[in-house]
Amino acid sequence: MKILKFGGTSVGSPESIKKVAEIVADIEGEKIVVLSAMSQTTNVLHQITDAIGASNFVEANSILDMMVDRYKTVIEGLYSTDNIKKTANAFIEERFDFIKSYAHEGSVEYISAIEKIIVAQGEILSTNLFDMYMNEIKVESSLLSAFDFMRIDEAGEPDSDFITESLGNIVEANPNTSIYITQGYICLSHLGDVDNLKRGGSDYSASLIGAAIQAEEIQIWTDIDGMHNNDPRYVDNTFSLKEISFDEAAELAYFGAKILHPQSVIPAKEKNIPVLLKNTFNPESAGTIICNCSVPASKVRAIAAKDGITAIRIKSYRMLMAYGFLKNIFEVFEKFKTSIDMVTTSEVAVSLTIDDDSNLDKIVKELENIGIVKVDTDLSIICLAGDFSEKQKGGSAAIFNSLTNIPIRMISYGGSNYNVSLLVNSIDKIKALRDLNKGVFTEN
């Protein structure tokens, strides 16, 4: 069994949906097709819930009307039979009426639950429309609701046992089905309420599904020919990598390479399932394979950046690194369930970074019992993934020589053999990525 995940742009227009169907039909063997919502849909659904949350029902309805128009145009361009057009129009009308039913004062109080129900409609729409298209072109497929198997636990983490058991039962009960179509991103909570795997979560769905059924391969089809050596949104002359290791890919995804959801490499890595990144709009291109393969060592393989970082410095009142000082600090973060990304220490102080600042005030208040606290915001972590083991010489020189004009707030080196992280002001991020691209990859 293979998992084939297609992102928002890949299902964003009638032409691309047709391309996706062609790719799915061309790939041999059994497969589970995981789809995102059509491009922009999740953003627009969030705008609608924001408008409902602000009691702005006129705006919510007018955004909805524009959405209905877009989906009607897609239906017109996608199907050729009147019968299927009629079914598809009836389906979207029913879904949009359902969303409209929340656009009233009574919803405002329950907006966070309603938001999840509303944003889930994006993937429900795309998968149903795709299934109808497969039906029209006579490719047999079976629509599978993600709510039947995708679940998160109380801590918001995927409930792997439940996913494995439920999916296993479904596949076992349907021996003649060779193409399943299901929604990425959406799931149920441990209480059975509609929930999701956070923005970009369809990659994570694909990887969790692949791990649950021990798939032979997970394919992530998107709008670019695989993982590039640097962020193509900010840097020119980036290039696609043929192969990268699970560890490198996991670091890059976690530290901002948007092509993959931050957690999506982990389930594949745990089950040693290769992940192939492919371009829907250029399927001939080899793309990138993420595997346990022995990728030839490279000083720096790729660079990514993550914004919205807050740095916290705690200086010991006792001016000497007291025994238990670090433990006391980490306990505060544990108490507020806030994970730490980077840590550096000096004799008297510790600096660390977080990306979730929802409990920052409480964290700072408690840390002030331990030492003098200083908070800096609007920072970015630049992550360099590659081989930084002792056998590689000169990698760090190339990195720092590239950044002579950029103030660096923190450096993390040696935490693992395959990552170096630098903390910079967000306003310097793009320059840092470009300077590193020139300095590091020319050096290589």
User: Please, which of residues 287-346 interact with ligand ADP by CB under 6 A?
Assistant: 304
Looking at 2, 3, 4, 7, which residue binds ligand ADP (CB under 6 A)? 7
Alpha-carbon distance of 228 to 221, in angstroms, equals 14
Which partner from the list Mg ion, ligand ADP, ligand ASP, none does 201 bind, CB cut-off 5 to 8 Å by kind? ligand ASP
Looking at 201, 210, 256, 439, which residue binds ligand ASP (CB under 6 A)? 201
Which partner from the list Mg ion, ligand ASP, ligand ADP, none does 227 bind, CB cut-off 5 to 8 Å by kind? ligand ADP
Contact stretch for ligand ASP (CB under 6 A) within 26-34, 36-44, 83-91, 354-362: 36-44
Q: Is 371 in the site for ligand ASP (CB under 6 A)?
A: no
Alpha helices in 79-159 (DSSP H): 82-100, 111-119, 121-136
CA atoms within 13 Å, Cβ hemisphere of 119: 27
Alpha-carbon distance of 206 to 180, in angstroms, equals 12
Q: How does 286-310 read in b/e, with b if 16+ C-beta sit within 10 Å?
A: ebbbbbeeebeebbbbbbbbbeebb
User: Please, which of residues 256-275 interact with ligand ADP by CB under 6 A?
Assistant: 257-259
* Residues 6+ away with beta carbon under 8 Å from 298: 386, 387, 444
> CA angle, corner 249, sides to 243 and 254, nearest 5?
165
The backbone torsions φ and ψ at residue 292, rounded to the nearest 5 degrees and listed phi first, read -85, 5
Site string for Mg ion, 192-211 (x = CB under 5 A): --------x-----------
Of 203 and 243, which CB lies nearer to ligand ASP in the complex structure?
Answer: 203
CB of 123 to Mg ion, least distance (A): 12
Contact stretch for ligand ADP (CB under 6 A) within 57-65, 150-158, 188-196, 227-235: 227-235
Of 34 and 329, which CB lies nearer to ligand ASP in the complex structure?
Answer: 34
CB of 221 to ligand ASP, least distance (A): 12
Which partner from the list Mg ion, ligand ASP, ligand ADP, none does 158 bind, CB cut-off 5 to 8 Å by kind? none
Contact stretch for ligand ASP (CB under 6 A) within 129-137, 195-203, 210-218, 361-369: 195-203
Alpha helices in 179-319 (DSSP H): 202-212, 246-254, 265-270
User: Please, which of residues 109-128 interact with ligand ASP by CB under 6 A?
Assistant: 122
Total binding residues toward Mg ion, as defined by CB under 5 A = 2
CB of 361 to Mg ion, least distance (A): 32
The backbone torsions φ and ψ at residue 367, rounded to the nearest 5 degrees and listed phi first, read -65, -25
Looking at 102, 133, 185, 325, which residue binds ligand ASP (CB under 6 A)? 185
Contact stretch for ligand ASP (CB under 6 A) within 167-175, 197-205, 220-228, 294-302: 197-205
Alpha-carbon distance of 164 to 97, in angstroms, equals 34
As a residue count, the chain comes to 444
First to last CA, the chain: 38
Amino acid at 376: D
Site string for ligand ADP, 378-397 (x = CB under 6 A): --------------------
Please tell me whether residue 17 adopts helix, strand or coil conformation.
Answer: helix
Alpha-carbon distance of 133 to 180, in angstroms, equals 14
Alpha-carbon distance of 143 to 126, in angstroms, equals 11
CB of 200 to ligand ADP, least distance (A): 5
Q: Binding residues for Mg ion, per CB under 5 A?
A: 7, 200
**Where do contacts with ligand ASP occur on this chain (CB under 6 A)?**
7-8, 36-37, 42, 122, 184-185, 199-202
